[in-house]
């Protein structure tokens, strides 16, 4: 069961070379499960027992179910669709005497050296002007097109002592030799099925061509591009599908873009997208603004983004007592400076849910002398204040183009989230919460 679930995840990642492709594939999963699309600029009509979804920018998606009975609070699981990579600049080609390269800039906190000497391609979307309309289309060049060549050790004898890579010099991918000048725009147009002159521009990103694998002496590991955070995002969507119709709670899945660059975009967690959606749901269910706030008091959010497993070569980098391992279950993440929003209440509620679902739970905290990164939970809470628990799955080599996790853990998170979506919380004021 564990390997089968992980292979389904790896297949999804293979078909999702950009955040735009990931969201399009999430749409397909939801529509196959009977969910109906909604649009921000059109009226909504919600029916008891039905599922719905909406997208923004083609790179963020929110899906939810309307309960069969009287609606109570929202049970929200969130993750992100983007990953560190390189974005292709608007004027893409750098043509020299012998070579043609792509001009790129770094997107997010990538481990630059891990991108060198690997087969790469380009995917994303283009904007097209045609027949009086301006619209976008997904593109995937889907070929071994690029490679960022390393400098030979003979030319840099200090390479194994650590090298600072200049992203304008050292990480530009090689595409061809001189006779391929102008070829990139042609390839993009062919992939889009549009005339080159009709394409106004694009949001195009590099991606690694290597497929995900299950490996190890006991087949205990998976390695793949984009485990951070498509492993969590896929589990959030699949968990919503698997949880089925609910009686009172409103399960919500929110997948945001741009977490890797701060979330401060119209489609990021630091936008009005979640607040807008929850408020509109409440209004259509006949709630007053006060009743909406009362519903939020009985709501909870999971911020799902992977965490660091203890490293086999560098165990000293982990906290002495708060370090998770791969295949050990869902990881609850703590931070005293609230980079992670977890507190004892939100962690306790989630542990009760996991115990009921038979899912193992671990904890994570950074070493006290190593500052950690933030994620989307605390940024989303600026707009919708909820009891929130930050969690994820343990992995190695976070922000590498090829990351490693545990073969069992996707199933752990999937079961936990399906149970979470089905849970109803009752706010008992000073007496805490009742988990129903």
Co-location of 271 and 414 in the same domain: yes
Which pLDDT score, from 0 to 100, does residue 185 have? 96
Q: Do 72 and 248 contact (CB within 8 A), yes or no?
A: yes
**Structural domain includes residue 196:** yes
The number of angstroms, rounded, from the C-alpha of 116 to the middle of its chain's C-alpha atoms is: 24
The two three-digit tokens of residue 206, written as one number: 């590099």
Domain assignment of residue 220, yes or no: no
Same domain assignment for residues 337 and 427: yes
Do 195 and 289 share a domain, yes or no?
no
What pLDDT does 426 receive? 82
**Distance between CA atoms of residues 380 and 54, nearest Å:** 18
Residues 404 and 295 occupy one common structural domain: yes
Instruction: List Cα–Cα distances, 107 to 23, 57, 88, 177, 399, in angstroms.
Output: 18, 18, 10, 26, 11
Where a domain ends, among 208, 233, 268? 208
Residue 390 and residue 247 share a domain = yes
Of 173, 208, 243, the one marking the end of a domain is: 208
Are both 147 and 204 inside the same structural domain?
Answer: yes
Q: Are residues 6 and 54 in the same domain?
A: yes
Q: What is the CA radius of gyration of the chain?
A: 22
Domain annotation covers residue 241:
yes
Task: Kindly give the confidence (pLDDT) of every residue in the chain, 436 residues in length, as a single tens digit, with 9 standing for 90 and above.
Answer: 899 999 999 999 999 999 999 999 999 999 999 999 999 999 999 999 999 999 999 999 999 999 999 999 999 999 999 999 999 999 999 988 799 999 999 999 999 999 999 999 999 999 999 999 999 999 999 999 999 999 999 999 888 988 899 999 999 999 999 889 999 999 999 999 999 999 999 999 999 999 999 999 999 999 999 999 999 999 999 999 999 999 999 999 999 999 999 999 999 999 999 999 999 999 999 999 999 999 999 999 999 999 999 999 999 999 999 999 999 999 999 999 888 999 999 999 999 999 999 999 999 999 999 887 778 888 999 899 999 999 999 999 999 999 999 999 999 999 999 999 999 988 777 777 888 8
CA–CA distance, 216 with 285 (Å, rounded to integer) = 51
Please tell me the predicted confidence (pLDDT) of residue 338: 87
Find the length of the chain. Answer: 436
pLDDT of residue 95: 87
Helix axis angle, 2-14 to 227-243, nearest 10°: 120
Residue 292's Cβ-count burial label (10 Å; 0-12, 13-18, 19+) is: middle
Residue after which a domain boundary falls, among 150, 180, 208:
208
Residues 255 and 394 in one domain: yes
| CATH code of the domain covering residue 163 | 2.30.250.10
With a threshold of 0.85, does the pTM exceed it? yes
> Would you say residue 214 lies in a domain?
no
Q: pLDDT at position 1, please?
A: 80
Range of the domain at 51: 2-83+225-435
Q: What's the total number of domains in the chain? A: 2
């Amino acid at each position: 069961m564990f390997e089968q679930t992980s292979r389904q995840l790896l297949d999804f990642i293979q078909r999702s070379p950009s955040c735009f492709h990931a969201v399009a594939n999430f749409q397909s999963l939801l529509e196959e499960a009977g969910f109906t699309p909604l649009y921000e600029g059109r009226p909504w009509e919600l029916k008891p027992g039905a599922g719905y979804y909406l997208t923004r920018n083609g790179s963020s998606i929110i899906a939810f179910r309307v309960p069969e009975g009287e609606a109570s609070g929202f049970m929200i699981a969130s993750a992100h669709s983007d990953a560190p990579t390189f974005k292709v600049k608007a004027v893409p080609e750098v043509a020299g005497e012998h070579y043609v390269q792509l001009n790129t800039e770094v997107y997010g906190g990538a481990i630059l050296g891990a991108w060198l000497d690997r087969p790469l391609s380009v995917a994303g979307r283009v904007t097209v002007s045609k027949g009086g309309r301006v619209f976008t289309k997904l593109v995937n060049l889907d070929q071994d097109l690029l490679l960022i060549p390393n400098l030979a050790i003979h030319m840099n004898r200090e390479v194994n002592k650590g090298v600072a890579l200049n992203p304008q010099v050292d990480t530009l991918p090689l595409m061809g030799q001189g006779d391929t000048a102008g070829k990139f725009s042609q390839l993009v147009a062919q992939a889009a099925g549009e005339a080159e002159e009709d394409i106004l521009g694009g949001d195009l990103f590099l991606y690694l061509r290597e497929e995900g694998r299950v490996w190890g002496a006991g087949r205990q590991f998976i390695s793949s591009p984009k485990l951070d955070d498509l492993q969590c995002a896929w589990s959030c969507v699949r968990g919503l599908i698997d949880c089925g119709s609910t009686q009172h709670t409103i399960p919500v899945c929110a997948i945001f873009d741009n977490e890797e660059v701060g979330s401060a975009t119209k489609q990021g967690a630091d936008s009005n997208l979640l607040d807008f959606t929850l408020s509109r749901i409440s209004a259509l269910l006949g709630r007053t603004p006060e009743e909406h706030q009362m519903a939020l008091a009985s709501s909870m959010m999971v911020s799902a983004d992977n965490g660091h497993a203890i490293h086999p070569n560098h165990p000293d980098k982990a906290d002495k007592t708060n370090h998770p391992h791969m295949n050990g279950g869902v990881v609850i993440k703590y931070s005293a400076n609230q980079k992670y929003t977890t507190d004892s209440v939100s962690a306790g509620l989630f542990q009760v849910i996991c115990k009921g679902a038979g899912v193992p739970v671990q904890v994570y905290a950074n070493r006290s002398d190593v500052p950690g990164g933030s994620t989307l939970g605390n940024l989303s809470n600026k707009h919708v204040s909820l009891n929130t628990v930050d969690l994820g799955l343990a992995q190695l080599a976070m922000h590498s183009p090829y990351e490693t996790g545990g073969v069992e853990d996707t199933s752990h998170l999937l079961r936990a989230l399906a149970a979470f979506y089905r849970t109803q919380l009752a706010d008992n004021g000073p007496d805490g919460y009742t988990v129903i």
